[in-house]
Structure 1
């Protein structure tokens, strides 16, 4: 007898069959674990808005690194919280900056663990913006304009300093026009032609960054970042930004945040033949943690589903604060 429908469920009958026909697979090799490093000694302080995520002083870092390596996670992304800040973010590019010192330590302890250095100024400037600013007063309030071209020189100095310290990948997140070209030229001129650039190509001005700004003490002291980060309403602009970065020499493209921008990730993946990085950002992580602590969601199931959705949308690499948990859960499976 001819049946008027197709029996799709035949391929869902058992775990073995489902595993055999599964189209998308997560592994620990997909993940990069962010780490916050800070000055001082004996510091391992949990970030209140990001349960399970800590700021580490250098003397407390080894245990965290060992756990990451033992779980098979291949890379870390370093963010620094400096002891001093100024108007040009000097602590971002000095030889003994906190990220530079952490990089040297990591490469000494675990030479094969990849170090990705976030290249930005917002954690290091006293005004909290990602570049140099021209400030002025308007109606009794301090205002400012972020200076694009003048800022590029500082980002180049930061990238070169990070490469000299041993960073394997430079990840500029500042969203200044021309930043990839400037950093590529600076790295090449200083003998770092082999160092790849993981560009924050598509970085939206997002409300999902709130916990990160607490963690890195990087909230802007006036205004916001809407004049240089992207409008969440725009998708064609993401293609223009990515085209520019490809032309300027980026080796990897990133979409940040990831979860609310899966459509953007798919567009970038379909258009450009470079590895695509998804950044599962602090607010996305914090929402799941809060819901799990209240018993509203199954943290393991929902976290793995979120990460799987990013890979299905086209991500080759996922930066996530859940990297360690996800690696454990996947190993259990």
Structure 2
């Protein structure tokens, strides 16, 4: 991915948007947004520019794979036709947005050894918590917590789903979590419910609690929200575990058992293997056919990285198409 990212950088994406009349700004998170805050405005401006430059769009058309003699098969309004273009660039997406057509159905037209199986990425996970917890807290948000796994950590909001957890901190750790579940059947995530407090501050707060009060009252007096109290009680530590209350609040274990369904994932891992393409993203088995975007087997956290990789691989593939046409067209 490095050559692609270096060929079309984040600054290039900003210039691209601004050249289309879509000014950008940097938010408090450091992420960059179009001023209009809507991708549709950028998309309309982009399509308008392409039409002005003579690009022809044919809608209600499906790619149906490869034909004989280097042809490409298309179905348009029920009729299948074979065409033999000078070059083809496929950008058919992954498999995580079936409602919009990104369902990975294109994989049927590739040899199995060219692909790595799709897997959900930037996704939530099913958690080994009680039905009562989910019934009571589904939709509730653990505000500004820190998730830990294998020495990595990510802070943000985590939402309780009908059978698990999702949110930015989970998404950022989804790759190693998924790999651990695949290899060992489960993964233990640790959640710090009080990341803005040091351990010493937490111990001072706990020391001021009334010893005879119930655990629920202790947690309430410490300022934990109902969903945070519920999660803590699901994974309750007591002194027999060798952990005091203050330490436990910074290390709540949650057993994750399965990634969320592919259709609920923001993106996917898997796709066309690196070995199946050359340095310009041309299929080694199909000269003149190039691929870009989420069709390729790469994985990135959400929050702009996905878009950047799609822009960058598309740009590098387009440069490769241009070189191919120069050498072979006509």
Q: TM-score, normalised by structure 1?
A: 0.23
Specify the structure having the higher radius of gyration (Cα). 2
More strand per residue: 1 or 2? 2
Higher relative contact order (CA 8 A, sep 6+): 2
